[in-house]
Amino acid sequence: MTPPLSKMVRKVVKDEEEVTKELCGLVEKFANEAIDSRGSFTIGLSGGSLAKFLGKGLPSISTSWDKWSLFFCDERVVPFDHDDSTFKVYKGLTESTPLKAEQFVVIDPSLEAEAAAKDYEAKVRAKFPNAEWPAFDLLLLGMGPDGHTASLFPGHALLKEDKLWIAPISDSPKPPPCRVTMTFPVINKARCCIFAMAGQGKADMVKRILGDGEALPSGMVKPINGELIWILDEGAASKL
């Protein structure tokens, strides 16, 4: 049964620069609201173009950086110096912002996928003690050309996982094959989920998910008690 969706917002802006500005403005807003009301901010990161947007825009926001804890919606089980490591992509934020490396909750890349997932779930649980499911303040999600999000791929058994917070995947159709990923119960417990994308290359899949309502993983992101925000530039939204 599809969970009820509290609120979905679609924002269409002119270009990639405006996507970056809109996204980072929302991150600033949600961070400061969380810190004001709960004393801390928990954010889940994804790779791909999101990292580029955040790398450009986050250094200029105003926030209590020391109150942030940063997680990964999914991560590739590779060494941190490997080009496929999402943590490697974001480590630059420790140079361009006051964030410190220890504020990132990271996998143990020396483990196999199943053990890495168990280890990462334990680390996440330590940040959300006594919770049945964690309630992240904000999850930033990407959408692949096949409609996947995090490492939840079309037709994969993990789409139905309802017990694990963090699941292993060793047969990812997109390399590298070994990864860990947040599951849909975790994603859909977040206070807010944001997709942000730019370019004509995203337009067909955006239409399939937002226009046609096709049952692909990115369309399964439906926060039960939270907000869902899609930020698109004119190119990405051109077929809606």
Say which CATH number the domain at 37 has.
3.40.50.1360
User: What is the C-alpha separation between 82 and 218, in angstroms, rounded?
Assistant: 26
pLDDT at 6: 52
The model's pLDDT over 168-184, given as tens digits with 9 standing for 90+, comes to 999 999 999 999 999 99
The pLDDT of 78-97, averaged and rounded, is 96
Amino acid sitting at position 5? L
Which H or E run includes 90?
Answer: helix 86-90
Task: Tell me how far the alpha carbon of residue 221 is from its chain's centroid.
Answer: 11
- Tally of CB atoms within 10 A around 101: 13
Find the domain containing 32 and state its range.
7-233
> pTM for the full model?
0.96
Let me know if residue 67 belongs to a domain.
Answer: yes
Residue 240 domain-assigned?
A: no
- pLDDT score of 3 more than 50: no
Whole-number pLDDT of residue 8:
87
- Note whether residue 1 is domain-resident: no
In a domain, 72, yes or no: yes
d(CA 219, CA 159): 12
Please report whether residue 239 resides in a domain: no
Considering the chain, what is the average pLDDT of its residues?
95
> Which segment of 7-11, 35-39, 99-103, 215-219 scores lowest on mean pLDDT?
7-11
Residue 5: pLDDT over 80:
no
In a domain, 238, yes or no: no
* 235 C-beta neighbours (distance < 10 Å), count: 18
In a domain, 98, yes or no: yes
Could you give the number of structural domains in the chain?
1
